[in-house]
Amino acid sequence: MRNALYCCDNPIDGATNMSLLDIFLDKVTEADLNNLISTCVPESPTIDYKRDTYGNSEGDKREFLADVSSFANTIGGDIVIGIDEAGGLPTAVKPLTGDIDAEVRRLESIALSGIEPRLTNLRIRSVPVAGGHAIIVRVPRSFVPPHRVIAQNSNRFYARAGTKKYEPNVEQLRHLFTDAPHVLERIRSFQADRLVKITVGETPTPLGPLGKVVLHVIPLPSFADGRMADIVSQLAKGGHVPCPLDEVGFSSNYAVNLDGYLSYSVGPPGARLAYAQFFRNGAIEGVGELRSDDNVNSCFITRDLTNLIMSRVRLYLDVLRAYDLGLPVYIFLSLCNATRVVYRYADASGVGCHDSRPLSREIVSVPEIYIDDFNVDVIDVMRPAFTTLWNAVGFLSCNRYDDLARWKSSNPYALTW
């Protein structure tokens, strides 16, 4: 049997479809790199091998930026630095030595300053191998293309076809500029369809007919390339689980269904119910029943609603990151069965309370929130959604923010304060 450090004479069947992209970047090991060699995985639109790291001359930097932007402008991929190749086939691991952390930071700095618009989800990681390290530059497909190389005033665009990068012509650039909005429309269509189904009672677990709050957290990459996340098997291994949109805090049950994985609250008879559906396409849908005093009208209260939404947005983003489902992510806040939903607020004395006018429409959906970093300040990014919802009931802004748009609670993700 051939040594793993030497490539076989011909790629095995299916090798051209293999890559590192199916492995979470933080989980890639030396064994995975050797597997590329032993199974003769050739260079392709999603993988490129480099024996040596990029130099520090201006030409070397431009070459690195061209490689990175070509992946971002096409379908994404990995640049594996520290693997020798011959004719596009990997032949041996050639470990990099020296200060590997400094080299990772150098490459990150070059990419940060040399590509426009900036690639916010580019990741570069070193992998320990015998004798040193390899470096993987993971370039996700961009959904705000095209990106251009601006180092040394080059102002050039690149894309990738097969194993080579090229400069797209005018027609190809036009396609790059117009493709991303089509993906967003698919996401909006999915979310709108889900709101209709929730409103008419087509939910994965039965809910009542009164008002409901709905939160969708949707990764754009899965809607662009049609990927289906293997969430069921991953959850079976003890992975992250999106909790129901339940402000009461009941215990939860879990189930597998046609759409993916479901968690739903279990409370006493008559209690408000909630669920979280983790779809196979990576979208997370959280739904919870609003409070009702008479089983006819529903209401929401500032503290309860905002604390619940903040905590679940943070949780759902962490779930998407754990499954490496990619960026950007769109967040949608909505109300269903909202015709008789009101906002309940305290009067000036702080003793009594008042109800706003009813929303008077079955579905209320505020404009989506765009997220391009899993470490965002959720308080800040969700403020426009809360402002719009409060506008809908006749208020200028959500009263959890002060006049300087600062959050009024020291613990925004807690369910109580």
Domain boundaries, the chain: 15-168, 179-392
10-residue averages of pLDDT along the chain (417 residues): 43 51 87 94 93 95 96 91 95 96 96 91 94 95 86 86 86 74 86 97 95 96 70 68 86 91 89 94 95 93 94 94 85 97 84 90 95 90 95 93 80 42
Token pair in block for residue 51? 């024996």
d(CA 58, CA 363): 55
**Three-class SS state of 299:** strand
Task: Tell me what pLDDT residue 180 has.
Answer: 64
Task: Tell me what pLDDT residue 174 has.
Answer: 77
d(CA 162, CA 71): 11
Q: Report the candidate in 64, 9, 71, 8 with the shortest Cα–Cα distance to residue 34.
A: 8
d(CA 38, CA 43): 14
Task: Tell me what pLDDT residue 366 has.
Answer: 95
Contacts of 153 (CB under 8 A, 6+ apart): none
Task: Tell me what pLDDT residue 145 has.
Answer: 83
Task: Tell me what pLDDT residue 404 has.
Answer: 79
Task: Tell me what pLDDT residue 4 has.
Answer: 39
Cα–Cα distance list, 131 to 26, 52, 98, 128, 405 (Å): 20, 14, 11, 8, 53
- CB contact at 8 A, 195 and 364: no
Give the CA count within 13 Å in the CB-facing half-sphere of 30.
13
- CB contact at 8 A, 328 and 320: no
Instruction: Write down the architecture of domain 15-168 according to CATH.
Output: 2-Layer Sandwich (3.30)
Task: Tell me what pLDDT residue 229 has.
Answer: 65
Instruction: Spell out the alpha helix ranges (H) of 200-326.
Output: 220-225, 231-236, 302-322
Q: Report the candidate in 258, 256, 285, 290 with the shortest Cα–Cα distance to residue 273.
A: 290
d(CA 36, CA 52): 17
- CB contact at 8 A, 289 and 206: no
Task: Tell me what pLDDT residue 402 has.
Answer: 86
- Look up tokens 């209320």; give the residue: 364
Task: Tell me what pLDDT residue 168 has.
Answer: 87
**Three-class SS state of 407:** strand
**Three-class SS state of 164:** strand
- CB contact at 8 A, 176 and 74: no
Give the predicted TM-score (pTM) of the model.
0.71
Task: Tell me what pLDDT residue 173 has.
Answer: 80
Task: Tell me what pLDDT residue 322 has.
Answer: 85
Task: Tell me what pLDDT residue 237 has.
Answer: 62
The shares of helix, strand and coil residues in the chain, as percent rounded to the nearest 5, are 30, 25, 45
d(CA 311, CA 414): 7
Q: Report the candidate in 76, 10, 72 with the shortest Cα–Cα distance to residue 38.
A: 10
